[in-house]
Structure 1
Amino acid sequence: MRITVLGGCGAWPVPGQACSGFLVEKDGFRLVVDLGYATMPRLPDVDVDAVIVTHGHPDHCADLNPLLRARVLRERPAPQLPVFAPHEALDAVLALDRPGILDNGLMLCEFTPGDRFEAGPFRVETALLPHWVPNAGLRLTANGQVLAYTGDSGPSPDVARLARDADVFLAEASHLDDVPDEARGFLSSATIAGAEATQAAAGHLVLTHLLATTSPAAAVDAARSRFRGEVTAARSGLVLRL
């Protein structure tokens, strides 16, 4: 399994970077997990095989629109792209174009967080994790290799369960340590992610969704205070090989 970070910023992309998005490849199958602001231009090409979106906030799905446009509006349109997302999560981004223009390029596969399904070689387990809107945490398994991803999530015992023994654990860490009162329960921090990685006995912890005010180096140090394994801050272009 090969994981390429398209972006790891939270809320909006800082200069030179992008919001949440990951290209996961296995046996020639190319799966994109989340497509936040500025991620689409970082794809090697638009001929991917499937997309999974964790939730409907635009820093996780806005670039689905240009990806579909690039596939549909070219001289030889691409086949329909399977896109898995929670119910109604993509209504806003799909409404950006006039009705029908993207229909031939999209196979929308809505699911309820908690469902399981397959996408190419990946067995996908989902869980409802706490956020302002329905958010699906993901556990992708292929040939015994495991990638877990929180999407955006407040603290929950389901996070450690989803990430149990994961080779790579992509964990939202918007904040460094304390989460502001208005976001507590809906977002996480590097310190919390480190504790969850320890509970899960995960292998490599990758901190993502860092806000512009959260220092990546400081976030890594904060996570290491709770987790003794490898810790990395997600950034555009980072490649992880399992």
Structure 2
Amino acid sequence: MHTSLEVRFRGKRLLIDFGEDWLPHAADLHVDAIVLTHGHPDHAWGLKRGAPCPVYATEATWKVISEFEIRDRHIMQPGRAFRIAGFSVEAFAVEHSIRCPAVGFRVTAGKKSFFYAPDIVAIVDRSAALSQVQLYIGDGATIERSLVRRSGEYVIGHTPIRTQIGWCEKEAVPQAIFTHCGTEIVSSDPAESLARVAALGEERNVQASIAWDGLEIDL
């Protein structure tokens, strides 16, 4: 299934992304709000027929999905924290796509914070985005081989897990989990991939692992 993350805190539920695979289940959602990282089909097109709650996205994302049947729309501005369903959510610009500009989210509930960016080449203001974050949830497209390419003056694609673990080390983020996994992970032996990622984390003093469908984390 396309990557989607539900966050729960004191009875409130926040959903991050809802890709096209989930479209048949949109009417069954029981969440207080949805936020979208960007407008690609595997992150937003599960909402083509509407949403049962408020939806938050950047102006750039709303332009991409302008024809979706979503009534309760809210525009997020990168660099400004929004109070959404009991959570503090701040969008940070990331490099990934030209046609669908993306953001990552720092989500805070109580005294705990995590950063979520499932498609990423780079975080524009990485130090600010990862400040005081206990968990980084990042792009699992590739473990060590770069999928970054240049398109004119822009860089697009996916940076490898190895590089993202390095970001966590530099910004003192103790734990990293990688989702939205690519062929290198999903077509290989799960134990081997988990071991490779854990070893890369040990080199940088970061607890690193790979997400799977149905994974639950207590932060």
Q: Give the shorter-chain TM-score range.
A: 0.7 to 0.9
TM-aligned CA distance change 1:130 to 1:63, over 3 Å:
same
Q: 1:148 and 1:53 mapped to 2: Cα distance?
A: 14
> Which of 193, 198, 201 is matched with 2:172 structurally?
201
Report the equivalent of 1:241: 218
Q: CA deviation at 1:198?
A: 0.9
SS at match of 2:145: coil
1:111 CA displacement: 2.0
Q: Which amino acid aligns with 2:183?
A: A
Overall identity of the aligned pairs, in %: 23
**CA distance, structure 2, for counterparts of residue 58 and residue 202 of structure 1:** 30
Greater helix content: 2
Match of 1:37 in 2: 20
CA apart distance, 1:34: 0.9
Q: Distance in 2 between the 1:93 and 1:170 partners? A: 25
Give TM-score, length-normalised by structure 1: 0.74
Q: How many residues align?
A: 207
Asked if 2 retains the 8 angstrom alpha-carbon contact of 1:37 and 1:60, the reply is: yes
TM-score, normalization by structure 2: 0.81
Deviation at 1:173, TM superposition (A): 2.7
Q: Aligned match of 1:232 in 201, 209, 213?
A: 209
Question: Residues 106-163 of structure 1: CA distance to partner in whole angstroms, max 9, x if unpaired?
Answer: 3110223223211022111221111213211111111111011124221346234312
Which amino acid is 2:129 matched to? L
Return 5+ residue gaps in structure 1 as ranges.
Answer: 1-17, 72-80, 97-101
Tell me which amino acid in the other structure corresponds to 1:83: V
Could you tell me whether the CA contact under 8 Å between 2:174 and 2:205 is conserved in 1? no
> Could you report, residue by residue, the CA deviation over 1:158-215 in whole angstroms, capped at 9, with x for unpaired residues?
2343123322210113112121353665421110111111112113211112112334
Between the aligned partners of 2:74 and 2:80, the Cα distance in structure 1 is 12
**Larger deviation: 215-224 or 196-205?**
215-224
What amino acid is the match of 2:72?
M
Q: Identify which of structures 1 and 2 has the higher relative contact order when contacts are C-alpha pairs closer than 8 Å and 6+ apart.
A: 1
CA contact (8 A) 2:121 2:148 kept: no
Q: Retained in 1: the 8 A contact 2:57–2:76?
A: yes
Asked if 1 retains the 8 angstrom alpha-carbon contact of 2:59 and 2:75, the reply is: yes
Partners of 2:44 and 2:59 in 1: CA distance: 14
Q: 15, 33, 47: which is aligned to 2:30?
A: 47
Q: 1:224 to 1:231 in 2, by over 3 A?
A: same
Instruction: Indicate how the Cα distance of structure 1 residues 33 and 206 shifts in structure 2: closer, same or farther if over 3 A, else same.
Output: same
Whether the aligned pair in 2 keeps the contact of 1:64 and 1:93 (CA below 8 Å) is: no
1:226 deviates by: 4.4
